[in-house]
Amino acid sequence: MEALLDLLAKAWPPVVAFVLGAVGGLRWPRFWRRLRGKSDVQVHVERDPQIIHANTPDWVTFPQFVARRREVLPPAPPGKATGMPEWAGRLDGYPAHNMDLLVTITAWEDRGVVVSALRVDAKARSLPDGFVLVRPVGGASLEFKRMEVTLSTWATNVLSKVPGGEVVQPFAFQLDRGESAQFHLIVEANGEESDVVAYEWTATLDLVVGGKHREVRIDNDGKPFVLVNRGRRPELWWMDDKWIDPPAY
């Protein structure tokens, strides 16, 4: 459908496009977006830590759950720990303990947006046997503007923080026409719900566009994200080119 609309738009004489623009003013782009089924605001969710942390030191680890027996686990990928999620995904794995997404919100050139809230919904899901695989790293923690989410099946906690860890209330902010805003979405399964081995979760951005409430769902290409709870599956660390039991402290 969208390809057909694009073809028609290119085929229209320029004078017709001019007349429609003159008559509709700023309403014409909105009508065209609705016709194409596009949202009132542009939201991009980057999931690949190789992009999110492209120019940072190897200071962040990315634990991954893989449903494999220990003796058949393949070696960890070479390079930085940011390669762990892609590697585990090829093994049908899931992130474990925490995950880091980068959310970019952009207003269209003809309409401003008020971002009023972020809501997160989580529920328990089952998980086969397997291991949480960790590639240890060293270094200082990285600080950035972020929304910190602690998953729970009964009361998920969402906090807005600035670099340094100060909590900022409220989360709401405004975007002028064509303006963008970006923040990290740090999601944690802290292990407090002992009967939950893994979570399925999605988030919803509440917006005000043109004086009307709008919602934009944040998910994993139409499916819930999955995050394995802390302490529910045994860990293995990649050290000296092999998987070992983590050191006891």
Amino acid, single-letter form, for residue 111: R
Q: Do residues 198 and 94 make contact, with C-beta atoms less than 8 angstroms apart?
A: yes
Q: How far is residue 202's CA from residue 185's CA, in Å, rounded to a whole number?
A: 12
Number of helical (H) and strand (E) elements in the chain, helices listed first: 5, 15
Any idea which residue has 């977006």 for tokens?
33
pLDDT attached to residue 167: 76
Q: How far is residue 60's CA from residue 85's CA, in Å, rounded to a whole number?
A: 12
The DSSP bridge pattern shows strands 146-150 and 157-161 to be antiparallel
Q: What are the angstrom distances between the C-alpha of 220 and each of 78, 92, 101?
A: 26, 14, 11
pTM, two decimal places: 0.81
At 22, list the tokens.
């003159």
Within 13 A of 229's CA, how many CA atoms are on the CB side? 22
pLDDT attached to residue 37: 46
Q: Along the 249 residues of the chain, how does pLDDT read in single tens digits?
A: 555 556 545 555 554 444 445 444 445 455 444 544 455 788 999 999 999 998 888 888 999 999 999 999 999 999 999 999 999 999 999 999 999 999 999 998 888 899 888 999 999 999 999 999 999 987 655 556 788 999 999 999 998 887 776 777 777 888 999 999 888 999 999 999 999 999 999 999 999 988 889 999 999 999 999 999 999 999 999 999 999 999 876
User: Could you tell me which residues come within 8 angstroms of residue 72 by beta carbon, excluding any fewer than 6 positions away?
Assistant: none
Amino acid, single-letter form, for residue 1: M
Q: Do residues 40 and 113 make contact, with C-beta atoms less than 8 angstroms apart?
A: yes
Helix (H/G/I), strand (E/B), else coil: 146: strand
Q: How far is residue 16's CA from residue 61's CA, in Å, rounded to a whole number?
A: 56
Q: Do residues 86 and 64 make contact, with C-beta atoms less than 8 angstroms apart?
A: no
Question: DSSP E strands: which ranges in the chain?
Answer: 41-46, 64-66, 94-95, 98-107, 113-125, 131-134, 146-150, 157-161, 173-175, 180-188, 198-209, 212-218, 225-228, 235-239, 242-244
Amino acid, single-letter form, for residue 46: E
Residue among 89, 90, 102 nearest 60 (CA): 102
- The backbone torsions φ and ψ at residue 24, rounded to the nearest 5 degrees and listed phi first, read -85, -20
